[in-house]
Homo-oligomer: A and B are copies of this chain.
Amino acid sequence: MEKSLSLTEENYIKAIFQIGTTPESNVSTNALADNLQTKPATVSDMIKKLSYKKLIFYKKYKGVTLSASGSKEALKIIRKHRLWEVFLVNHLYFKWDQVHEIAEQLEHIKSSELINRLDDFLGNPTIDPHGDPIPDANGQVQLGPSKLLSEMTSHENGIIVGVKNENPLLLQHLDKINIRLGLHIEVTEVNDFDQSMQVKLADLGTLFLSEKITSQILIAKNL
């Protein structure tokens, strides 16, 4: 019976998972320190511990990658985080910009019984309020392919399926200009100079968007 991870250990595992683009990509000490708002020296210590526990692979100065058991843990935490976000938005009527911080706490509650019942209660959702996929009880995620709005060219169109990060200020701004998941969007013009765009939203008419925003919006890639 291996002891369950501490809250801190869970946060490290999750950060490694989320920083690494591919499962094999090495995550640097500094990147982790940045993400976890701590100091590189602190990260170095924790890395040794996680490595000893075989949750990560680690070679000095070469960064870390998650082991199979590390990935499994990460997916469990992300599953909990996203299911709680769905609960907060769908049942407690929080806005999408208000839930991340609370979910950061709730994701550490230990009870697989609880999370599976919550999953059922919510109707086994496959995406969270920000369009991120929710891993199932076995850690499987099905993520429809998507691209950034900023990567699209004039006259391309598609459906908004997600936002790249959960910064409350970004989310509030998107609310303000009526951008939300599920909307059909068409690029009408791209300005070469600053990559700003003019787009047309279903029903809502025309909008100008800076690259700062278009680089955060995910569009479904229709296969």
Main secondary structure of the interface of A (DSSP, over half): helix
Please provide the chain A residues from 57 to 112 with a CB less than 8 Å away from any CB of chain B in the complex: 88, 91-94, 98, 101-102, 105-106, 109-111
Q: What separation, in Å, do the CA atoms of A110 and B105 have in the docked complex?
A: 8
Q: Specify the chain B residue showing the minimal Cβ separation from A92.
A: B117
Q: Specify the chain B residue showing the minimal Cβ separation from A94.
A: B117
Q: What separation, in Å, do the CA atoms of A109 and B94 have in the docked complex?
A: 16
Which of B92, B113, B114 contacts A114, CB < 8 Å? B92
Copies of this chain: 2
Chain A count of residues within 8 A CB distance of the other chain: 18
Please name all residues of chain B whose beta carbon is closer than 8 Å to the beta carbon of A94 when the two chains form the complex: 113, 117
Q: What separation, in Å, do the CA atoms of A98 and B111 have in the docked complex?
A: 11
Please name all residues of chain B whose beta carbon is closer than 8 Å to the beta carbon of A19 when the two chains form the complex: none
Q: What separation, in Å, do the CA atoms of A91 and B106 have in the docked complex?
A: 17
Q: Specify the chain B residue showing the minimal Cβ separation from A98.
A: B113
Which of B106, B111, B121 contacts A109, CB < 8 Å? B106
CB of A118 within 8 Å of the partner chain:
yes
**Is B110 a contact of A92 with CB atoms below 8 Å?**
no
Q: Specify the chain B residue showing the minimal Cβ separation from A109.
A: B105
Q: Specify the chain B residue showing the minimal Cβ separation from A105.
A: B109
Q: Specify the chain B residue showing the minimal Cβ separation from A114.
A: B102
Which of B91, B101, B105, B114 contacts A121, CB < 8 Å? B91
What's the least CB distance linking A124 to chain B, in Å? 14
Q: What separation, in Å, do the CA atoms of A117 and B110 have in the docked complex?
A: 22
What's the least CB distance linking A147 to chain B, in Å? 35
**Is A118 a contact of B92 with CB atoms below 8 Å?**
yes
7 new A-B contacts at CB < 8 Å, known A105-B109, A105-B110, A106-B109: A92-B117, A92-B121, A94-B113, A98-B113, A101-B111, A102-B109, A105-B111
**A residues within 8 Å of B by Cβ?**
88, 91-94, 98, 101-102, 105-106, 109-111, 113-114, 117-118, 121
Interchain residue pairs with CB less than 8 A apart (19): A88-B114, A91-B121, A92-B114, A92-B117, A92-B118, A92-B121, A93-B117, A94-B113, A94-B117, A98-B113, A101-B111, A102-B109, A102-B111, A102-B114, A105-B109, A105-B110, A105-B111, A106-B109, A109-B109
